[in-house]
Amino acid sequence: QWLRQNHLIDNGFPTGFKLPDDVFRASDTAAPNLESLRISPVSVDSKTNEFVITVTARITDDASGNAGKGYNSSPSQIGFSSPSGGTSVTAMLSDRHRISGDSKDGVVVYEMRLNNLFEKGEWRIRSVLLADQLGNIQWLRQSHLIDKGFPTGFKLVTPDPDSPALKPDNRR
């Protein structure tokens, strides 16, 4: 049996519902912010076959939170370019990599695994993308990182063959 709206009203039943504003997060129009950034180590002696560059960032977002589980586009990330610009590596900073806090104020860590075949020299941050769960994004420029006192890259160095650390110890 189908009931008409007036039948529901006559019998005291509701005929609709109102969703709270936060369901649609219509007020969330701001992208996340980068509160802190650390790259360690900043300089790596590439004599070892493999090494890890760890990128640690504190990301805040006032409403929906840093993009993570369930987000289907590019999450927060930092892209690095090799000295020649021919190679790039990316540190993914999605909320899936959060180690503390919550999606609205959390610390994320990503380990980039590199090896001694990567180009030596200064690897510079080429892009910083911050994205929240609703797709609000912000691209940061190098000048923003410098103004905040954040690192702008890391350095892969070739070991000096004359370095005392690399010479055999012939003392007996």
DSSP string for residues in 143-170: HHHHHTT---EEEEEPPPTT-TTTS---
Give the pLDDT confidence score for residue 86 in this predicted structure. 95
Q: How far apart are the first and last CA of the chain?
A: 100
Each as own residue / partner, the long-range contacts of residues 38-44 (CB below 8 Å, 24 or more positions apart, any chain) are 38/151, 39/151, 39/153, 39/154, 41/154, 42/151, 42/154, 42/155, 43/154, 43/155, 43/157, 44/114, 44/154, 44/155, 44/156, 44/157
In this structure, of 11-20, 144-153, 157-166, the range with the lowest mean pLDDT score is 157-166
- 141: pLDDT strictly greater than 70: yes
Give the pLDDT confidence score for residue 37 in this predicted structure. 98
Mean pLDDT over all residues of the chain? 86
- 159: pLDDT strictly greater than 90: no
Choose between 49 and 94: higher pLDDT. Answer: 94
Give the pLDDT confidence score for residue 162 in this predicted structure. 60
- 149: pLDDT strictly greater than 90: yes
Give the pLDDT confidence score for residue 113 in this predicted structure. 92
- 49: pLDDT strictly greater than 90: no
Nearest Cα neighbor of 120 from 39, 47, 56, 40 is 47
What value, to the nearest 5°, has the Cα angle with vertex 21 and ends 17 and 24? 95
- Say what percent of the chain tops pLDDT 90: 59
pLDDT tens digits for range 61-118: 999 999 998 888 899 999 999 999 999 999 999 999 999 999 999 999 999 999 888 9
Give the pLDDT confidence score for residue 128 in this predicted structure. 97
Nearest Cα neighbor of 87 from 109, 62, 120 is 120
